[in-house]
Amino acid sequence: MKLKARHIPILATMLVFILLYAAASFYFPYFFTLRVFVNLFIDNAFLGVVAVGMTFAVLSGGIDLSVGSVVACTGIVMSKLITQYGFNSLAVIAFVLLLGTAFGSVMGFFIACYDLPPFIVTLAGMFFARGASQIISLESIPLKSPLLNRVADFGIPLSDRVDFPFIAIVLVAAVAVGTFIAQCTKFGRNVYAIGGSEQSALMMGLPVRRTKIGIYALSGFFATLGGVIYTLYTFSGYSLSGIGLELDAIASVVIGGTLLSGGVGYLPGTLLGVLIQGVIQTFISFDGTLNSWWTKIIIGALLFVFILLQTWISKARAFRKS
């Protein structure tokens, strides 16, 4: 396949990931082991799943600020229903996924039907979900479910000592499903079209409203799924978890090569964006002398570089055409 301008951002992301990983392995040979690599997927599984939904919102030229609170709310509701009320674990998971999707659709309805800015509507959604989870419980609730214990312990053995555990499988599956929806369904292509030019999408007869509602429903679904994963990761629900998660998710999306103005990007890029953040974090925890704030500073710098790269590509294209 020929190299195309639109592939440059995702190739750059891949290059950054490889270089970072190589540099980290150079400093800490242990970095270059299967276990550390698999841990990247485990530790960032919830962020990755949330970022899949966020990618759809960003691709359409919108944003979803509610995801962090939705993660917290999911954990609280799940733990409460399972641990305190003793409901069936799987039924509860199905229920919260449905609830989260419905929540996203309501936000999508306000955005699509009344032309309210996504920023404001999902901000309200963020307040609502955070408030709701705090009303349900201010304390952390442990998750007690033998069934889910077994689910979380399940893993595909990769070597004698390393498994690819359930939550990492969910992450990979979420990215795969997301990629399929984005690349191979009419809905997915309509998302790209709306992000590219909403006016044209309307004139081409595409169902803009329906698609927009679908986008936020999908983002709600993935945020909830991320919440389920997070709960399986920590085995508790806490109303203050996931604060600022929306920011990490947006950063992953942008570093993954998706244009924040919409219309351009690939879902696997988002996964790479998540993994890059993971590498930086793991490196810093390996080092011990570096502090966690360097993560934020480096991610900010990476954001800057990627945004400049994107601006530069679109300018170069405009120049070449004239």
246 to 265, contacts with another protein by CB under 8 A? 247, 250-251, 254, 259-261, 263-264
CA separation, residue 225 to residues 5, 89, 232 (Å): 34, 14, 11
Among 26, 27, 30, 127, the residue binding another protein under the rule CB under 8 A is 127
Q: Which of 222, 221, 210 is nearest to 270 (CA)?
A: 222
Closer by beta carbon to another protein, 136 or else 151: 136
Q: Is 128 in the site for another protein (CB under 8 A)?
A: yes
Taking 3-state DSSP, the helix, strand and coil percentages for the chain, each rounded to the nearest 5, stand at 75, 5, 20
Name residues contacting another protein, limited to 140-199 (CB under 8 A).
180, 183-186, 189-190, 192-193, 195-197, 199
- Element housing 129 (H / E): helix 118-136
Q: Is 209 in the site for another protein (CB under 8 A)?
A: no
Cα separation, 151 vs 229, in Å, equals 11
Shortest separation between residue 223's beta carbon and another protein, angstroms? 16
Closer by beta carbon to another protein, 18 or else 240: 240
Span near another protein by CB under 8 A; candidates 44-52, 143-151, 217-225, 243-251: 243-251
Using DSSP's 3-state secondary structure scheme, residue 269 falls into helix
Span near another protein by CB under 8 A; candidates 23-31, 32-40, 49-57, 118-126: 118-126
Estimate to the nearest angstrom the gap between the alpha carbon of 24 and the chain centroid: 24
Shortest separation between residue 234's beta carbon and another protein, angstroms? 20
Name residues contacting another protein, limited to 96-115 (CB under 8 A).
110, 113-115
Cα separation, 302 vs 300, in Å, equals 5
